[in-house]
């Protein structure tokens, strides 16, 4: 066995696991790992400006590549800064390994500088959080971390490395030929349950397939679309499943839900009699009122994690399986049971509502209406564009209006919703898919949460476009005024001293070496987008298009059906039905 620095061995394990990109911020307690990393020809390290930015950048990288993301920090606040990113990964099933330095083991309980019990802090937001105290365990602990992060429902792992452990030099059990990545099984579906699921689809009159983020993660979109086409079943992805089927596919039924949804999808959903959820969570912003949502319809729930079945409600059939394996098995079984079906009345109904129950987007208003901004984006960007968005009214509009055609091309930190996610996640997405155009769609407030990471993109020449819907108004939170009948406009306002629209975001970009342009008229949006794409590619830095938007807060959600109805064609009976799903905060018992 070779004698080596243990951190050299750890870096070799990471290389052997296929790591090419790592994000992080160095500090005294993690320098031995950095020393080893500096010798790697395979792993490129990107120094971020904040450890939260590092976790989100790694997260964006993983969402486009499927590979495990790596984020590194020192002891103390570095780890605590990562907690939001870990939580985001756990919530959205993103495999990531965060590595923290730690004070030496002999001073851990002696008021040592930056010695915090990060393992205990990280436990609720990771699949596994571990401090390695015995250097001999390092290589296998890292192997195990890669396995746990990817196995079953993927998620994050945190490994805490005390300084003395990092500094050890010893005979180390590392030989890639004798011990590569640890194998793990993907759960296979039970054939009887698969048969039953296909039978239920064949017996239903108005079935719906509902892929969630699990279908994207399992790279199972092709199988999904093939099955849907064979059986002629409409597909309604959840918000996290956006991109699982192209939005111009004849079987695309739109997204159901309270916020990021289309009305035709809600209307069609309420007419359905069977819903087959695959890798989805039945999140409350999707279901709304569960009594209305469930109604008399039947449900099949397919998930890789047995603990997800019956978590929110008991389906008529629960099936534990990897999404891809389940869809493959359903396709085989469906082919055995029936030839390819022709579109029937139900598919025609989808087509009818999909082409009539549309929202208006051709507003000419100044300040710009978000609906118009998304119309311009949809016209301008092609189907290979990767969109990245986080949380806010602008993101809800994005869910409603932004067209997506391919899996891994619409990234959103759906369950945790941490403001600021976009700027770093765009860096990771562009590094993971350098040939694609990456577009971060941000609110002004969200942008300002982690805008310092623009400096990282400039430093490493990572070009992408940011489209900001600037209302300087914290629009989503102001909706609380409607719910709680309150007025907190003063505290939420953050107009700058010289401006009624917050800070000068264009100057912020320029100060860091990036580019920016402000747009006030909807007719100028396309030109600005064209400029941003070209300029960012030429200069190899991010370019911002800041669109000055209206201060309208109630056009996006069911809280404001009256407002939406001003812009939309009416549809008999849909107000009450959609209102129950779309409106109000749902209760769960």
Ligand X SMILES: Cc1ncc(C[n+]2csc(CCOP(=O)(O)OP(=O)(O)O)c2C)c(N)n1
Within residues 58-97, the interface with ligand X by CB under 6 A covers: none
Tokens coding 339: 């030839």
CB of 442 to ligand X, least distance (A): 7
Please say which residue, 208 or 416, places its beta carbon nearer to ligand X: 416
Residues 443 and 556: their CA atoms lie apart, in Å, by: 15
CB of 63 to ligand X, least distance (A): 19
Query: What phi-psi label fits residue 372: left (phi over 0), alpha (psi between -120 and 50 degrees) or beta?
Result: alpha
Please say which residue, 165 or 547, places its beta carbon nearer to ligand X: 547
CB of 555 to ligand X, least distance (A): 11
Tokens coding 522: 């909807």
Q: What is the largest CA-CA distance in the chain?
A: 77
CB of 474 to ligand X, least distance (A): 4
The alpha carbon dihedral of 148, 431, 44, 88 has a sign of negative
Stretch that binds ligand X, among 63-71, 205-213, 386-394, 432-440 (CB under 6 A): 386-394
Q: Please check whether residue 33 is in contact with residue 39, taking contact to mean a CB–CB distance below 8 angstroms.
A: no
Count of chain residues binding ligand X (CB under 6 A): 18
CA dihedral of 381, 382, 383, 384, whole degrees rounded to 10: -90
User: Is 475 a binder of ligand X (CB under 6 A)?
Assistant: yes
User: Is 476 a binder of ligand X (CB under 6 A)?
Assistant: yes
Please say which residue, 172 or 413, places its beta carbon nearer to ligand X: 413
Please say which residue, 156 or 418, places its beta carbon nearer to ligand X: 418
Percent helix, strand, coil in the chain, to 5, is: 45, 15, 40
User: Is 471 a binder of ligand X (CB under 6 A)?
Assistant: yes
Q: Which of 121, 477, 482, 506 binds ligand X (CB under 6 A)?
A: 477
Please name which of 491, 495, 378, 387 lies closest in space to residue 442, comparing C-alpha atoms: 387
Other CB atoms within 10 Å distance of the CB of residue 25: 18
Q: Please check whether residue 520 is in contact with residue 366, taking contact to mean a CB–CB distance below 8 angstroms.
A: yes
User: Is 501 a binder of ligand X (CB under 6 A)?
Assistant: no
CB of 272 to ligand X, least distance (A): 31
Please name which of 412, 444, 420, 214 lies closest in space to residue 309, comparing C-alpha atoms: 214
CB of 369 to ligand X, least distance (A): 12
User: Is 417 a binder of ligand X (CB under 6 A)?
Assistant: yes
User: Is 394 a binder of ligand X (CB under 6 A)?
Assistant: yes
Tokens coding 23: 């994000």
Please name which of 406, 396, 441, 440 lies closest in space to residue 286, comparing C-alpha atoms: 396
CA 66 and chain centroid, separation:
12
Q: Please check whether residue 115 is in contact with residue 102, taking contact to mean a CB–CB distance below 8 angstroms.
A: yes
User: CB nearest ligand X: which residue?
Assistant: 443
CB of 417 to ligand X, least distance (A): 5
Residue linked to tokens 């600021």: 420
Q: Which of 204, 391, 423, 438 binds ligand X (CB under 6 A)?
A: 391
Please say which residue, 276 or 368, places its beta carbon nearer to ligand X: 368
CB of 428 to ligand X, least distance (A): 18
Stretch that binds ligand X, among 168-176, 200-208, 387-395, 398-406 (CB under 6 A): 387-395
CB of 502 to ligand X, least distance (A): 8
Please say which residue, 443 or 542, places its beta carbon nearer to ligand X: 443
Please say which residue, 13 or 58, places its beta carbon nearer to ligand X: 58
Please say which residue, 333 or 389, places its beta carbon nearer to ligand X: 389
Please say which residue, 318 or 417, places its beta carbon nearer to ligand X: 417
Residues 150 and 463: their CA atoms lie apart, in Å, by: 29
User: Is 474 a binder of ligand X (CB under 6 A)?
Assistant: yes
Question: What SS3 class is residue 196?
Answer: helix
Spell out where 32-168 has E strands. Answer: 44-47, 69-73, 96-102, 128-131, 156-162
Give strand pairing partners of 298. Answer: 274
Please name which of 514, 510, 410, 412 lies closest in space to residue 460, comparing C-alpha atoms: 514
Please name which of 503, 473, 507 lies closest in space to residue 490, comparing C-alpha atoms: 473
CA 115 and chain centroid, separation:
32
Residues 7 and 172: their CA atoms lie apart, in Å, by: 10
Please say which residue, 190 or 554, places its beta carbon nearer to ligand X: 554
Pairing between β-strand 156-162 and β-strand 96-102 as defined by DSSP bridges = parallel
User: Is 424 a binder of ligand X (CB under 6 A)?
Assistant: no
CB of 395 to ligand X, least distance (A): 7
Stretch that binds ligand X, among 123-131, 210-218, 260-268, 385-393 (CB under 6 A): 385-393
Q: Which of 418, 516, 522, 558 binds ligand X (CB under 6 A)?
A: 418
Please say which residue, 118 or 419, places its beta carbon nearer to ligand X: 419
CB of 440 to ligand X, least distance (A): 12
Stretch that binds ligand X, among 253-261, 388-396, 450-458, 535-543 (CB under 6 A): 388-396
Q: Which of 392, 432, 463, 586 binds ligand X (CB under 6 A)?
A: 392
DSSP-assigned letter for residue 169: E
Within residues 440-459, the interface with ligand X by CB under 6 A covers: 443-446
Binding residues vs ligand X (CB under 6 A): 391-394, 417-419, 443-446, 469, 471, 473-477
């Amino acid at each position: 066995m070779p004698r080596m620095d243990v951190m050299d061995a750890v870096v070799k394990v990471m290389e052997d696991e296929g790591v090419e990109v790592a994000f992080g911020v160095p500090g005294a307690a993690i320098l031995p790992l950095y020393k080893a990393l500096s010798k790697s020809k395979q792993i490129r390290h990107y120094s971020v400006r904040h450890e939260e930015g590092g976790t989100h950048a790694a997260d964006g990288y993983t969402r486009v590549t499927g590979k495990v993301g790596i984020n590194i920090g020192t002891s103390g606040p570095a780890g605590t800064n990562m907690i939001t990113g870990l939580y985001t990964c756990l919530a959205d099933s993103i495999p990531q390994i965060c590595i923290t330095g730690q004070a030496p083991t002999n001073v851990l309980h002696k008021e040592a500088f930056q010695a915090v019990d990060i393992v205990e802090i990280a436990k609720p937001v990771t699949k596994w959080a571990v401090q390695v105290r015995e250097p001999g365990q390092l290589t296998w602990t890292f192997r195990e971390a890669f396995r746990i992060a990817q196995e079953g429902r993927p998620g994050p792992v945190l490994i805490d490395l005390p300084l003395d452990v990092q500094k050890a030099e010893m005979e180390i059990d590392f030989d890639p030929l004798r011990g590569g990545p640890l194998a793990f099984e993907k759960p296979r579906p039970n054939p009887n349950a698969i048969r039953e699921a296909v039978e239920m689809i064949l017996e239903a009159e108005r079935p719906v397939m509902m892929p969630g983020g699990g279908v994207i993660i399992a790279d199972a979109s092709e199988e999904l679309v093939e099955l849907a086409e064979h059986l002629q079943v409409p597909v309604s992805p959840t918000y996290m499943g956006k991109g699982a089927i192209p939005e111009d596919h004849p079987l695309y039924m739109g997204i159901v839900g309270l916020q990021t949804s289309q009305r035709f999808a809600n209307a069609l959903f309420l007419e359905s009699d069977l819903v087959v959820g695959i890798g989805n969570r039945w999140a409350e912003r999707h279901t709304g009122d569960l009594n209305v949502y469930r109604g008399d319809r039947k449900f099949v729930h397919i998930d890789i994690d047995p603990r997800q079945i019956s978590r929110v409600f008991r389906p008529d059939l629960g099936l534990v399986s990897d999404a891809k394996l389940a869809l493959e098995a359903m396709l085989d079984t469906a082919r055995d049971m029936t030839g390819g079906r022709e579109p029937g009345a139900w598919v025609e109904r989808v087509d009818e509502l999909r082409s009539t129950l549309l929202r208006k987007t051709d507003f000419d208003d100044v300040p710009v209406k978000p609906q118009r901004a998304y119309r311009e984006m949809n016209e301008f960007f092609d189907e290979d564009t990767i969109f990245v968005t986080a949380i806010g009214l602008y993101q809800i509009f994005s869910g409603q209006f932004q067209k997506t055609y391919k899996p891994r091309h619409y990234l959103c930190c759906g369950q945790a919703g941490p403001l600021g996610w976009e700027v770093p996640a765009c860096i990771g997405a562009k590094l993971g898919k350098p040939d694609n155009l990456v577009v971060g769609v941000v609110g002004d407030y969200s942008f300002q949460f982690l805008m310092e990471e623009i400096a990282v993109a400039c430093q490493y020449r990572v070009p992408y476009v940011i489209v900001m819907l600037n209302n300087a108004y914290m629009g989503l939170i102001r909706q609380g005024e409607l719910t709680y009948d309150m007025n907190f406009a003063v505290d939420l306002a953050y107009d700058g001293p010289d401006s009624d629209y917050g800070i000068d975001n264009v100057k912020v970009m320029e100060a860091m070496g990036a580019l920016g342009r402000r747009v006030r008229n909807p007719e100028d949006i396309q030109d600005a987008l064209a400029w941003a794409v070209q300029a960012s590619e030429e200069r190899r830095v991010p370019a911002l298009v800041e669109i000055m938007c209206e201060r309208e807060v109630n056009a996006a959600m069911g809280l404001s059906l009256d407002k939406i109805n001003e812009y939309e064609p009416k549809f008999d009976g849909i107000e009450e039905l959609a209102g129950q799903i779309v409106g109000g905060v749902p209760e769960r018992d």
